[in-house]
Amino acid sequence: MNKETIVVNDHLQELRSSGFEMVKGEPDIRGWKVRNSNEVTIGKIKELLFDVYSKKVRYIIVDLDGKPLNLLSRDVIIPVGLAELDQTENVVYLPDVTVGHLAKLPEYKKGKITFKTERDIRDVFMPDNSKAADKLADFEASNNPEREAFYNNEFYDESRMLKRRRMAEKLENRTYEKEKELTDNEKIRNSDTVQAGNVAYIPDEKDPSLLRKVKIIRDTD
């Protein structure tokens, strides 16, 4: 009887024990609540699975509360690109992850993620086998190009997780800058210290959103 050789992907390590830390400025989502598209809280982020070779987060480890979904409570791992951060709250959303997906995911056990486990997890979300999946073999693939090919799809794209929050931060910054600009212009117009010969910027008569550069020729009361 042939024994199956099982090789663990030891490139994947929990961030806490990997020797690495989150990039400065990036949110540490460990401990955040996890909600589905129906706003139901289904667990929390327990840890992140980090690829020590590429220095990228590959999976989020979710402490799944199965009660609201009539599922077994357990730890599962989900490709990082399927998560989205709330714009302001410390909440992680899984908008494209269904109850059916969660039911099919295997239980996560630390240090026992094999290449086959990863394929099975990806196939839950992408049933059609890709060329990259076909090339991925159950053997130690240290520095093997097939490994990056396996992760080369939107499910493992970290930027998707941060997109919603970053967009909100940009809008907030733009709003703040616009308000500050208007406030500063108002101060210039209302200031008692404006002297003749100074330069000021005032709203254009035809288009108030544009500022005109003017030179003050006399003091105003």
Which residues, in sequence order, are CB contacts of 182 under 8 Å at separation 6+? Answer: none
Return mean pLDDT, the chain. Answer: 77
Comparing CA positions, the residue from 187, 190, 202, 194 lying closest to residue 219 is 194
Q: Is residue 5 in some structural domain?
A: no
Residues 95 and 29 placed together within one structural domain of the fold: yes
Comparing CA positions, the residue from 98, 51, 105, 78 lying closest to residue 161 is 78
Domain end residue (candidates: 149, 165, 181): 165
Residues 143 and 197 placed together within one structural domain of the fold: no
Question: Hey, what are 135's tokens?
Answer: 């090339």
Q: Is residue 179 in some structural domain?
A: no
Residues 119 and 221 placed together within one structural domain of the fold: no
Residues 109 and 73 placed together within one structural domain of the fold: yes
Residue ranges making up the domain that contains 208: 193-221
Higher pLDDT, 26 or 65: 65
Whether the full predicted model's pTM is greater than 0.85, yes or no, is no
- At 124, which CATH number? 3.90.50.10
The per-residue pLDDT for range 153-175, each reduced to its tens digit, is 888 888 888 876 665 555 445 54
The per-residue pLDDT for range 68-119, each reduced to its tens digit, is 999 999 999 999 999 999 888 999 999 999 999 999 999 999 988 988 899 8
Q: Is residue 52 in some structural domain?
A: yes
Unique residue bearing structure tokens 């003050």: 216
3-state helix, strand and coil shares in percent for the chain, rounded to the nearest 5: 35, 25, 45
Q: Answer yes or no: are the C-beta atoms of 91 and 33 closer than 8 Å.
A: yes
Residues 206 and 156 placed together within one structural domain of the fold: no
Number of domains in the chain: 2
The H or E element containing residue 170 is helix 158-190
Residues 52 and 114 placed together within one structural domain of the fold: yes
Residues 155 and 212 placed together within one structural domain of the fold: no
